[in-house]
Amino acid sequence: MYINCHSYYSLNYGSFSEITLLELARENHVTTLALTDINNTSACLNFIRCAKDFNIKPIVGIDFRQGTAQQYVGLAKNNSGFQELNAFLSRHLSQGIDIPPEAPMFKNAFVVYPFEKVLRLEKTSFREHEYIGVSVAELRKLPFSKYCGLKDKLVIQQTVSFRHKRDFNTHRLLRAIGLNTLLSKLPQDEQGTETDMMLPYEQLLERYKEFPHLIENTKKLMAQCHIEFSFGNDRRSQNQQYYYHSKEEDYQRLKELCEAGLPKRYPDPTAQVKERMLRELKIIYELEFVSYFLINHDIVSYAASKGYPHVGRGSGANSIVAYIIGITDVDPIELDLYFERFINPYRTSPPDFDIDFSWKERDDVTAYIFSRFPNVALLATYNTFKYRAAVRELGKVFGLPKEEIDKLCSGHYSPDTLDQLSHLVLKYASWIQGFPNYISVHAAGILILDKPIHYYSATTLPPKGFPTVQFDMIIAEDVGIFKFDILGQRGLAKIKDAIAIIRQNQPNAPLMDIKNVAYFKADKKINALLQQGQAVGAYYVESPAMRGLLKKLQTQDYLGLVAASSIIRPGVSSSGMKNEFILRQRMPERRKQANPILWKIMPETYGIMVYQEDVLKVAHHFAGLDLGEADVLRRGMSGKFRSREEFSAVEEKFRANCKAKGYPETLINEVWEQIKSFAGYAFAKGHSASYAVESYQSLYLKCYFPLEFMVAVLNNGGGFYDAELYIQEAKKWGATIHAPCINLSDHPNVIYGKDIYLGFGYLKSLEKLVIQRLLSERQLQGPYRSFDDFIDRVPISLEQLSILVRINAFRFTGIPKKELLWHAIFKTKANKEKSPQASLFVAKHRSFTIPTLASNSIEEAYDQIELLGFPLCTYFDMVAQDLQGGIMANELYKHKNKEVLLYGAMVHTRYNTTSKGDRMRFTTMLDREGNFFDCVHFPLSMAKSPIQGKGVYACYGTVTEEFGFYSLTVSWTKKLPLQNDPRYQQAV
């Protein structure tokens, strides 16, 4: 009898979840229930999925509102009606059109106009599918209304938005947050009605007993509504079923692609290769995943036709079919990739392909997908209220001072010192924590479906400009919708740009085909870079943590890097198995301690679970679970399961099987704890291998073309570190770094031989229009011949011209920049910007005699810090005192367990927590020779001598060693003062 119910997906309005709504209905003996969120369908599919658990018949629809003014409620008669409602809402949401006061002609949906709305409209005619909804509160008006006689058009419309007073209060706070207003100023017409609550079924009938035709009409209306979707084990894939026209035609095409690609990947294929390929093809056909492969192949083929590099990763990288037809570049035979992680007869979802493109090219690939396939949308994700964010928003709504809000957010307060309003803020923040705040776009997910998108959801048009559904990945998979992951990353752009820069800067250099990864894997120089941790700029392997791990593992080949890429993940680290793996890698005799059964299952990783598929192997071969049950574990550790009960049931069977096999309890617990530690953090081996391939491509360029590669890194926003670290790295490899130059620089960085000229884009205060003007003028009319020539040709204000002068962009003139600043003042006529209109005649410039003004490198460095954000010299060049004593980073190994002093320029710092929950810190420094060393600051030393931004620090502490990697456990640090800017000293 309830045809207008809201969940908290009525954003900034509703006060509980769709599950809570079902619980509420069961408590009130309601057996048929309609979910109609306000201009939103996010909860509909999950509401339908869960309703059967409550023995409730679900009905779905939409509460169409303009602002908070209810226009009408649409109820889907069936799936087609749901599609109609979604399409109607989507058109208005996407185009920003107001919801009209009267509904269109729906073929498969009912429309219920609220009684008060009908009175205002003085609506006199109603279509067959249109009704008038009357709430409990409106019953007293009905007998006196001209609509009382329309007995066949009147239905019950008791809106349900709240359970009790607290929900209503929460609703008012959410409305105030959504409108960015104080609670005290929240307009009455922006709120719901406190009586919008669910009454027990019998009580509801009692309220309407004098209007039995309303009860009867409502029952008939609801009886005509039937919505069906399949979920869980009953689901079927909703993805596009056929790439061509039939399953057989698709399969024939996939076989043709394999036959064509096989000799390219395997010039002399072995029986193992052929058998693996045929086996995969058979299972892909049987599980009806053929179109999934062909669609992915279509996408990467388009990219290849445009010259876009890509990386195919995810569990699909374990597939030889994917490798042969070019979706991935990882050889599953070479790596002995576990076929069953990729696909097995128990698997109901297609394998996971994450396809990376350059961040510059992903949008074009996405646009192609939308134009190529008929039913496409982006996947949504929900941005929910985090506790601190909720505290901040509620603090503003209650009108608390910023200082009080900051205190509440920090958590540094005593509850006894808080006033009533602050207590209310904290109380309601805990209640709305986890509520959806707004719908956003999934980072990578694209849906390519068989039916129209609106069959499942309404869509919005966010800033990306592509239609986006209103549900997330979890419910998508529940209903059989499997996303295609199309990602953008900067590593590929660096590789592509580096190749272009090399061809321009060294046109005759022998440049290997970047896809010749087999050659790179065998190159001793590249592997030496890997082993030494000299991988700054290289994708995925440049961070301090990875640099340390590579040294500890003594990684010097591709397979070692594949393992390292997964070992660094928190799952392996937190289980303690990372250290055990390092020990077994470095000390062969230690491998004898491995359990013989686990060693037999995982010989390559010395009996230690490192990859996702290791969990499958152990569950299947060690514990005797079938592959379907093992996949529950795999999904569980990835955080993708719906039912923890299902996960717990598999755990019970795991333990029971192990006991039946006679394993000791200690071994069972040890293995299970390893599996649990993987939760959400393990990589598939093929996924790690895909990362490793890209890392080797980057390392090849870093090894043989380091300067061009570093320019490409800088031009793509750097990587793990700040730009100045990559500039120092380029200098380390022989580059001369130049500040921006009027005649030689571009917007990005450029290189001529070994000279790198920084781009104008680094000058944060330089306007884009000025950059465009000076570059366009130079391109059309040639280099600037003098300072006067520049002023004549480029309209520019004194402020903008001063930026170029101070960065010494006119140094080609030979005139000191202090003198040029005076000329700039005289010649731009007291800060008046010239007209963009070009002059017909060039006026002759007057010459001024300006006295010699002294300058030095420290002034230059301070100007660079202000304008670029960093100096082109090192901070060591700016230190105000001589550095007494101290050792270098490459001498740490001589001083194990001894206290030493090092001087370091801070590169990167991050916080962590100790086992007791206290804050500690890791800092990466560069010594005077440009070599890295790492500092560990435990809570006591961190409190005594904090790290305060960029600069040079004296670092005193004890040298520690772990698996051959040396670092400094800090006792104290001291930031050294820099030389003062002499210009300000003179001013004083």
pLDDT at 842: 58
- What is the tens place of the pLDDT at every residue in 284-297? 999 899 999 999 99
The Cα 101–Cα 436 span in angstroms is 28
Cα dihedral 329→331→335→341 (10° resolution): 80
Residue ranges of the domains in the chain? 2-223, 503-697, 721-868, 878-982
Alpha-carbon Rg for the chain, nearest whole angstrom, is 34
Which residues, other chains included, contact 748 with Cβ-Cβ below 8 Å and sequence gap of 6+?
Answer: 714, 715, 759, 761
Q: What is the DSSP letter of 505?
A: H
In terms of CATH, what superfamily is 878-982?
A: Nucleic acid-binding proteins (2.40.50.140)
pLDDT at 30: 97
The Cα 63–Cα 114 span in angstroms is 11
Beta-bridge partner residues of 834: none
The Cα 703–Cα 505 span in angstroms is 16
How buried is 509 (Cβ within 10 angstroms: 0-12 exposed, 13-18 middle, 19+ buried)?
A: exposed
Which residues, other chains included, contact 599 with Cβ-Cβ below 8 Å and sequence gap of 6+?
Answer: 591, 606, 607
**pLDDT < 70 regions, the chain:** 341-342, 344-346, 571-575, 635-646, 678-682, 829-848, 850-851, 853-854, 985-988
Q: What is the DSSP letter of 887?
A: B
pLDDT at 839: 54
pLDDT at 988: 41
Does domain 2-223 bear CATH number 3.40.630.10? no
Instruction: Determine if the pTM surpasses 0.85.
Output: yes
pLDDT at 831: 40
The Cα 882–Cα 237 span in angstroms is 70
∠ CA 908-910-916, rounded to 5°: 155
Q: Which two tokens stand for residue 922?
A: 């890791």
Backbone CA torsion sign across 847, 849, 854, 859: negative
Which CATH number, 3.30.720, 3.40.50, 3.30.310, 1.10.150, labels domain 721-868? 1.10.150
The Cα 409–Cα 417 span in angstroms is 15
pLDDT at 346: 66
- What is the tens place of the pLDDT at every residue in 833-858? 444 455 555 566 666 676 676 678 89
Place of tokens 């939409």: 62
Q: Which two tokens stand for residue 808?
A: 């010494």
Tell me the residue ranges of DSSP E strands in 243-394.
310-313, 354-358, 376-384
Contact 94, 53 (CB under 8 A): no
Contact 239, 482 (CB under 8 A): yes
Contact 730, 501 (CB under 8 A): no
The Cα 884–Cα 882 span in angstroms is 6
Q: Burial code of 459-470, b = ≥16 C-beta within 10 A, e = fewer?
A: bbebeeebbbbb
